Amino acid sequence: MQKHKLLFGCTAGVLGMFLLLSAAWAAKPSADDSCKTLKACLAELQDAPGDRELREKIIKLALKRKTAPAVPEEAERRLARGRAAVKAAEGKEGFQRAVQEFQKATLAAPWLAEAYYNLGIVQDKAGDYTKAIQSLRLYLLAAPYAEDARAVKSLIYEIEFREEEAEKACGTATITDADGNTYKTVQIGEQCWMAENLNVGTMLASARTTPSNNGTVQKWCYDNNSNICATEGGLYNWNEAMGYVTTEGAQGICPSGWHIPTDAEWCTLTQYVDSSVDCGVSGGSGTDCGTKLKQDGSSGFGALLAGFRNTDGSYVSRGAYANLWSSSPSGGDAWLRYLYVSGADVYRNTSDEALGFSVRCLKD
């Protein structure tokens, strides 16, 4: 049975290796020997602690020596503090303190296998899977004859699986549109929403230019400013947003696997956030739904007061209103939700399909 080192130090194989390598480490470098010695490379690492290749070089230099680099007191101190932080940790955030301590141990003694092992373990517990894998690989490099090498390799494969699953998780995963723009996501109840306004398509020349069903997604940018689109999303009339279909729940201009939310799906969201919302009425309802849905609100939805494009070819109400289409038609109009800067409630209404509103996509 293999003994791991999270709180108890090295395995017998690794400990033996480091006891064998036991003396002072600094060899005097020649003038043209920059970072060909441990001392020179260690100095460089202090200015570039994230340089993985430099860490690998230091480890390889240490392994070539007949005597090991002495473990600095600072590294021992950070290892002890990291173990104490592990004991006190609660939840993923709690392990971040341990991560910080073990990172400092690897900086003080970047050849020390034990430090990388402990760092990898707590990074995994903290949910930082990519860095956990990197740290454990550095452990295997620093301890090529470790008795637990096979177990650590197996652990790396397990972490790779957790990383892949996490990338699919709403709130962690991002989605990409047809133009390559990426968007954060947020889990609210049983629904997975985009946490940013959609910004796909080609900018129209002005608010007086109208889109057409020509196979190219077209958008308005408030004040004809592409920089505003980049931060607050595009503005779309309903037909353009829907991809010129009228089916509720259509994908429209959303990425594959996502769709324009229906009126009923908006109802699910708003009532989850605020149970006092009345989805059977037009107009405002709810106690604090609007506050929670707006930017910096507790829901994480982050609705932006992006304004809209009016049917007369003007841009209005930026900084005052957030207007978001649904995929549910109502005669020549369509249902939407809107939020007002000074309103704590949420508004359910129908509006002219020719207006240019923001779009949020919902995962299928």
Q: What is the mean pLDDT of residues 211-226?
A: 96
- Residue 63 makes CB contacts below 8 A (sequence gap 6+) with 111, 142, 144
Task: State whether the Cα torsion 90-93-95-96 is positive or negative.
Answer: negative
d(CA 222, CA 315): 6
Residue 111: CB atoms within 10 A of its CB come to: 28
**Residue 303: strand pairing partners:** 294
Overall average pLDDT of the 66-87 stretch? 94
| Residue spans per domain, the chain | 12-168, 174-363
Place of tokens 């003694």: 109
Q: Calculate the CA 350 to chain-centre distance.
A: 35
In the prediction, which pLDDT does 5 show? 52
Residue 212 class from Cβ within 10 Å (0-12 exposed, 13-18 middle, 19+ buried)? Answer: exposed
Any idea which architecture 12-168 has in CATH? Alpha Horseshoe (1.25)
HSE-up of 65 (CA within 13 Å, CB side)?
26
Model confidence pLDDT, tens digit, residues 291-339: 999 999 999 999 999 999 999 999 999 999 999 999 999 998 999 999 9
So what's the pLDDT on residue 34? Answer: 57
Contacts of 164 (CB under 8 A, 6+ apart): none
pLDDT, tens digit (0-9, with 9 covering 90-100), for 7-35: 544 443 443 433 333 333 344 443 334 58
CA distance 357 to 364: 22
Measured CA distances, 55 to 48, 109, 156, 176, 258 (Å): 10, 10, 19, 34, 42
Q: What is the pLDDT of residues 81-140, one digit of tens each?
A: 999 999 999 877 789 999 999 999 999 999 999 999 999 999 999 989 999 999 999 999
What are the CA-CA distances from residue 16 to residues 58, 143, 331, 361 (Å)? 20, 11, 80, 58
- Contact predicate 2/11, CB 8 Å: yes
